Structure 1
Amino acid sequence: MPAAGPRFDVAVAPSGYAWWYIDATSDAKGPDGGQYGLTIIAFIGSVFSPYYKLSGRQRPENHCAINVSLNGPRGSAWAMTERGAARVDRSADHFSVGPSGLSWDGDTLVIDIAEISAPLPYKVRGTVRVRPEMIGTTAFALDPARRHRWHPVAPRAHVEVEMSHPGVRWSGSGYFDSNFGDEPLEDGFDDWHWSRAHMKNDVAVLYEGRRRDGTPFDLAVKLDRQGRWHDVVQPAKARLPRTGWLVKRATRADEGSTPRVIKTWIDAPFYARSKLATRLFGEDVEAVHESLSLARFRSPIVQSMLPYRMPRAFW
């Protein structure tokens, strides 16, 4: 399916969602030795929002958030405050939620962050610049009915991070994609595992999991420095240790190699994001990896916990 740019003006139907995801790791040759990791996710119809679910998911535009997760030796931060439609403004190249926003000029994505963390309130402030090396022009369906779609916007990018709260500054390599859906994520899937790795010439992206109807799915692609893609055979299955919340993690790696978790950035009751050292397609690489258990997410116990970490603002 053809796609171009971030598409912040995409139509989101009732019960649907859209999100734009950026991750970055600091340069291993920099002064911090590659110890920083950052993820930013901008949501319309926030897929993990208990408020969106309780509302009947009729107005996705009324449930938007910008999630920021920063990990590092001299400063970490987390923020994800949901806001209503009155605090949302978006066009093809701009998307703001309350005081934070993303702007795309065709060359650079500028993310201005002005958030408050929860449950402990502290400022999360700064600017992130994402400069793509190439732009992907293809979106991929994750299910036969095409109700869930993935678009690698910029699989390889240079990222500059300047945070005033916490006071850190670094640069490194990054990745930018988007996902769109016409139904709740948990209606389509029971779980999934995803990873991306920057190789010498290509970016490898690996998806696998189980749909809600019990059928497995997987998607493995390489994208070159011009944004062209081709399918590849999934490497061998490899085990990873469960998280502190006992979320099962799974990945792929070359036969005979053993992936290693360098750092778990997010350890939640139904979700984990980690940095891995692994070997893929004959190369030793570092990968960003996530595991998502939507069966866990559907649990009433987990649903009752979410508002403490993901508050909703009424201003």
Structure 2
Amino acid sequence: MFSPYYKKRGRRDPLDHAALNVALYGPQARWAMTERGRAAVRRDAADLIIGPSAVRWENGALTIDIHEGDTRLFVPWQRPVRGRVRVYPEALNRVAFALDARHSHIWHCLAPRARIEVAMTSPALAWSGKAYLDHNRGAEPLEAGFHTWHWSRAHLRQGALVCYEGERGDGSLFASALRFAADGVPEPVDLPPIAQLPPSKWRVDRRTRSDIGVAEVRRTWEDTPFYTRSELASRFLGEEVVAVQESLDMRRFSSPLVQFMLPYRMPRRAR
């Protein structure tokens, strides 16, 4: 949905604009998001193959085989990004949610709680921990449906909590908080108070929710002109939590300057 090539070509053939995005943070940081054409994409009920990388369900886990190269500004060569990621859902949710009255944008939290195993060979990294799995789909471009979007989620002692809010393209506001039980069943809960966060280095406005109206940015992992991803210390439903927070500004994304910059971070190959 962030492809500058797909946007420029009128978003008429999504399978001709496929990419596997990999973001590793820390001392051995890597960023990979190479777009590939239709000839490099194959899919069926159990598998999705994008160039040399593949995603499949195997033995109860979403298995992601990564065979990519990273992209760095002003650096003409790519470092390899190789490895395997397995995501094991601990709870599955079958309910999807419409984010607008026309049902043009659908959000589905597939696994509000999951565990993850990461085994990278390039760079040589391995760890396991908590995970989450969701997806979005829509009948119109994201920038047509939304101006801004703020999202945060956290594991609770039992289940998980997801908060999301923002401004739609027509200027209307939306906000919701969902608690997912240990079995994955979602239940709307009262929205905690707004907790304002400092803008990112690119001056993207950030917002989350907290029982006490206060949250702390522990680390900012992703900081771009239109999107940020951060780790927060917050409080949800009476529990001290570590939350993941994202903010998105689609007006920034649509600007000519950002569209000019995107191909440097998202190269395209036919295969």
Establish whether TM, by shorter chain, passes 0.5.
yes
Partner of 1:115: 68
Please report how far the alpha carbon of residue 122 of structure 1 lies from its aligned counterpart in structure 2 after TM superposition. 0.9
Choose 119-128 or 109-118, whichever is displaced more. 119-128
Which portions of structure 1, spanning 4 or more consecutive aligned residues, are displaced by more than 4 angstroms? none
2:234 to 264, 278, 300: 278
Q: Is the 8 A contact 2:194 2:210 kept in 1?
A: yes
Please report how far the alpha carbon of residue 219 of structure 1 lies from its aligned counterpart in structure 2 after TM superposition. 2.1
- Aligned pairs for 1:118-197 (under 5 A) are 118-119=71-72, 120=75, 121-197=78-154
Matched, 1:232 2:194: no
Matched, 1:86 2:39: yes
Choose 63-72 or 105-114, whichever is displaced more. 105-114
Q: 1: distance between equivalents of 2:42 and 2:221?
A: 30
**Structure 2 residue runs without a partner (length 5+):** none
- Aligned pairs for 1:192-231 (under 5 A) are 192-231=149-188
Partner of 1:62: 16
Please report how far the alpha carbon of residue 152 of structure 1 lies from its aligned counterpart in structure 2 after TM superposition. 0.9
Deviations 1:9-46 (A, max 9, x none): xxxxxxxxxxxxxxxxxxxxxxxxxxxxxxxxxxxxxx
Q: 1: distance between equivalents of 2:34 and 2:254?
A: 21
Please report how far the alpha carbon of residue 153 of structure 1 lies from its aligned counterpart in structure 2 after TM superposition. 0.9
Partner of 2:266: 310
Please report how far the alpha carbon of residue 72 of structure 1 lies from its aligned counterpart in structure 2 after TM superposition. 2.6
2:215 to 253, 256, 259: 259
Q: Is the 8 A contact 2:229 2:246 kept in 1?
A: yes
Q: Is the 8 A contact 2:159 2:183 kept in 1?
A: no
Classify the secondary structure of the residue corresponding to 1:178. strand
Q: 2: distance between equivalents of 1:206 and 1:101?
A: 31
What percent identity do the matched residue pairs reach? 51
Deviations 1:210-243 (A, max 9, x none): 0010000112101111111100111000111111
Q: 1: distance between equivalents of 2:224 and 2:133?
A: 22
Report the RMSD for the aligned CA atoms in angstroms.
Answer: 1.0
Deviations 1:87-110 (A, max 9, x none): 111122211111111101361111
Q: Is the 8 A contact 2:159 2:184 kept in 1?
A: no
Classify the secondary structure of the residue corresponding to 1:53. helix
Q: 2: distance between equivalents of 1:136 and 1:107?
A: 15
Amino acid at match of 1:52: Y
Q: 2: distance between equivalents of 1:270 and 1:137?
A: 31
TM-score normalised by structure 1 residue count:
0.83
Q: Is the 8 A contact 2:166 2:174 kept in 1?
A: yes
Q: 2: distance between equivalents of 1:134 and 1:62?
A: 33
Q: 2: distance between equivalents of 1:226 and 1:201?
A: 9
Number of residues of Structure 1 aligned to a counterpart in Structure 2: 267
Q: Is the 8 A contact 2:39 2:270 kept in 1?
A: no
Please report how far the alpha carbon of residue 262 of structure 1 lies from its aligned counterpart in structure 2 after TM superposition. 1.1
